[in-house]
Homo-oligomer: A and B are copies of this chain.
Amino acid sequence: MRKIALSILFMAIAAVTVSAADKVITLPKHDLSKVKTTVAQTYNRRQSTREFAGQDLNKQDLSNLLWAANGYNRPETMKRTAPSAMNRQEVTVYAVIKEGIYEYNPKDESLILKAEGDYRNLVAGRQDFVKSAPVSILLSADVSKLGDAKNIHAQYMASVDVGIVTENICLYCAAANLAVVPRASMDTNALKKLLNLDDNQLLIMNTPVGYFVSSKAK
């Protein structure tokens, strides 16, 4: 009897653990066909916004955003929306949402859990408004993919490539009527530890994204 009770207890704990944060989140395939903003409007609207509506991004919007950031736009050759130095594709995209930190897998447009729990406070640092963004995109760059990770020029190139992905995000947000701000400050050490990033990895930019509070929507 006691054994059965214990088994039920363990199963219940397991169920709670699994339901707390999915190990893998399958996103709908990106589909930007509903974005009707023109290119002129997109560049005109590019701006930084530090206020977000509370609700989560729906999965389609999240998928579109991550694909625009650094997805495969030529899947047959595994080439991406973002150019990278020598096509080394050293930038990894993470989505920091309240359930955890997920790595974007461009192969099947899924999210893979890297750290369970709400770590948006680590992205926020001392800027509280960041915690109100439903998702913060975090970008790491593996400098060793560009050669000697200690080489300053390789570090510059990795930083350039992080900037390139950042602007893919900012312009997509301008087009899709999403609020966004590119930022550098965050608790870098804590986030690197959580994500198992070593000294070869730069973690220098994040971009909180959300819907506009309704009064600010375009």
Contacts and interface: CB of A to CB of B under 8 A. Distances in A.
Interface of A: 32-33, 35-40, 42-48, 67-68, 73-74, 79, 81-83, 85, 152-153, 155-157, 159-168, 170-172, 175-176, 181-182, 184, 202, 204-205
Nearest to A159: B159
A14 to B, nearest CB: 41
SS class of chain A's interface: helix, strand, loop or mixed? helix
Contacts of A166: 160, 163-164, 167
A10 B203 CA distance: 59
Given A44-B73, A81-B46, A168-B171, A204 B39 contact: no
Contacts of A167: 82-83, 163-168, 171
Contacts of A175: 39
Contact of A204 (B73, B156, B165): B156
A10 to B, nearest CB: 47
